[in-house]
Amino acid sequence: MYFIDSTGLHVLFTNFSQERLLQNLIMFGHQRSADVLCTLNGWDRRALRIHALKLGLQYRQLSVVQPALAGLDVDQQWEATDMMLDFIATTAPVDRDMAQKIVRIGMRLQH
């Protein structure tokens, strides 16, 4: 498996799973590195965007949600909409502010 950082390209020989590695990159602000890593290793880049959205919603990271939504292909938008609606329905009773932020992000993408 290959990995890129500021010093260059590296080969990893760890017990990290693909999913765990990508999840960590996404959650710590390295979405572009996750995308490049998928390309280098022949992994599904399309699924990465939905996975990033799911993680962003799960951990309430708007900085992950926004680029994930912006990078979706047209056929992925229904799945993303369902995920956002589920998040809003379950979050609104507990954290109305967060639910409203997700609504605003979704509405901005429709324009």
| pLDDT tier at 28, thresholds 50, 70, 90 | confident
Cα separation, 93 vs 72, in Å, equals 28
In the chain, the percentage of residues whose pLDDT exceeds 70 is: 86
In our burial notation (b when 16+ CB lie closer than 10 A, e otherwise), range 51-88 reads bbbbbbbeeebeebbeebbebbeeebeeebeebbeebb
